[in-house]
Amino acid sequence: MIPRYSPKDVAALFSDENRFDTMLEVELLAAEGLAAEGVLPKDEVAKLRSRRPVIDAAFVKEVDERELITNHDTAAFVDLVQAKIGMPEGAWIHYGLTSSDVVDTALCHTITRAMDIVITEATALRDALTARAKESVDMPITGRTHGMHAEPTTYGAKFALFALQVQRDIERAKNARTAIAVGKLSGAVGTYSNIDPKVEAYVCEKLGLTPVPATQVIARDRHAEVLYACAALGTSMEQFALEVRHLARTEVGEASEPFGKGQKGSSAMPHKRNPVLSERLCGLARVLRGYLQAGLEDVALWHERDISHSSVERIVMPDALQLTVYMLRKATGLASGLVLNPERALENLNVNSLGLVFSQSVLLALVDSGMSRDDAYRIVQAAASKAGETRTNFRDIIEADPAVKLSKEVIANAFDAQRLLAHRARFVDALTWAK
């Protein structure tokens, strides 16, 4: 991932230094597990720990240089670790293991830690949306379907629905974390041919993972589930950002992104305050969905394994998790800082809509008066068309229409936005985590 979209805490998890350090910990824990089963002397395990090499940039460089000879990065890693620990104790490193035992278990441990950050940041986004929902649930705004004026809703209803969606994403992320928090140390094709299952259990327990049956590799549907959780979060953020973009349009003007002191919206036009962050989130969501496609392609491997997934994962897993956290932090800032314009929203609702948002209320009032639905629909439809064509207020046309035999009180009730929003509290009541 390019530095622009790389949160340092997540990037550090996927650094070569952390990758080799985690692999080394798996190797040392495996040795401890072997000692517990009496396969190697316990005092030699203590020596392994005491001689544990420091995993730094210099170590990574040495592995890279060794790989030029082995053409196998894990073999190069094992060779270097054994050399630094020294013999005879170093011979116990990688005893009974295959490369994927170490690589897969270490990768799952790293992804699990990254998913903890994802869940934390997704919760922050949900809470930011929740706070905005509670503060703006009584602020009317024009609801739109097909991009056209429909009926009144509230800002708070919009925020609440986004918060509920992110909460579902959090549940998906938690499930994905459970799915990926696994490990395997079962040998070349997963049959424990040269290592006792108790060693696997020991290592996984120390790492906070669950041992699972596997071939040579852990099943890749687990990794795909993580990528789906990231893509789902990205799509939810895109949906929120797209709403911001629409509400920020000049013709609408009902919300806008926060605009910092000294910020420039355009290099050419000083008046511009473009929704650039929202547009960025929409664009990056596409990237996350692309990573999911790659992850799904990784699930089907030949027999007990092939290596076609490996090169893909080295790119998509770190990138997807870094990008997801980056987007979540930006989306949380957008949700918290979004500038609402309730006065413009009321103007659009009451004036610019010509009152057409109340057409269903008039229709139902006519039905209640005894008119057939089709007759009532035709009357209201004709009045609405006339209002749009002549730019006349819809209520004035209804009140002047001799076919509309409704009292002033009934008409006033039909055009009462508060009546239509009487149940708006239900949206924030659904945010049960905020109680």
Over residues 356-367, the mean pLDDT reads: 96
Q: Is the pLDDT of residue 44 over 90?
A: no
Q: Can the peptide bond before residue 88 be classed as cis, meaning omega within 30 degrees of 0?
A: yes
Q: Degrees (nearest 5) of the Cα angle 275, 277, 281?
A: 120
pLDDT-based confidence at residue 109 (cuts at 50, 70, 90): very high
Q: pLDDT grade, residue 147 (50/70/90)?
A: very high
What's the distance, CA 280 to chain centroid? 15
Q: What is the mean pLDDT of residues 177-184?
A: 98
Instruction: Show which residues are catalytic.
Output: 146, 266
- Tell me the C-alpha distance between 41 and 259, whole Å: 65
pLDDT at position 267 over 90? no
Q: Which domains does the chain have, with CATH numbers?
A: 1-95 (1.10.275.10), 99-256+272-353 (1.20.200.10), 356-414 (1.10.40.30)
Name the band, by pLDDT with cuts 50, 70 and 90, for residue 357: very high
Dihedral sign from CA coordinates of 309, 315, 321, 324: negative
201 pLDDT more than 90: yes
* 265: confidence class by pLDDT, cuts 50, 70, 90: confident
In the predicted model, is pLDDT for residue 297 greater than 80? Answer: yes
Confidence class for position 161, pLDDT limits 50, 70, 90: very high
> What are the Cα distances from residue 367, in Å, to 9, 135, 198, 409?
62, 36, 74, 16
Q: In the Cβ-directed half-sphere of 159, how many Cα atoms lie within 13 Å?
A: 35
Cβ(176)–Cβ(225) below 8 Å: yes
Q: 166-169 long-range contacts, Cβ below 8 Å, gap at least 24?
A: 166/122, 166/125, 166/126, 166/129, 166/233, 166/236, 167/126, 167/433, 169/122, 169/229, 169/232, 169/233, 169/236
In the chain, the largest separation of any two C-alpha atoms, in whole Å, equals 103
Q: Is the pTM of this model over 0.75?
A: yes
**Residue 255 — pLDDT band, cuts 50, 70, 90?**
very high
The mean per-residue pLDDT over the stretch 59-68 comes to: 96
Q: pLDDT value at position 389?
A: 95
Q: What is the reported pLDDT for 66?
A: 95
Q: Which residues, 6+ apart, have CB-to-CB distance to 427 below 8 Å? A: 133, 137, 154, 156, 157, 160, 161
Query: Would you place residue 363 in the very low, low, confident or very high pLDDT band (cuts 50, 70, 90)?
Result: very high
Mean pLDDT for the stretch of residues 211-228: 97
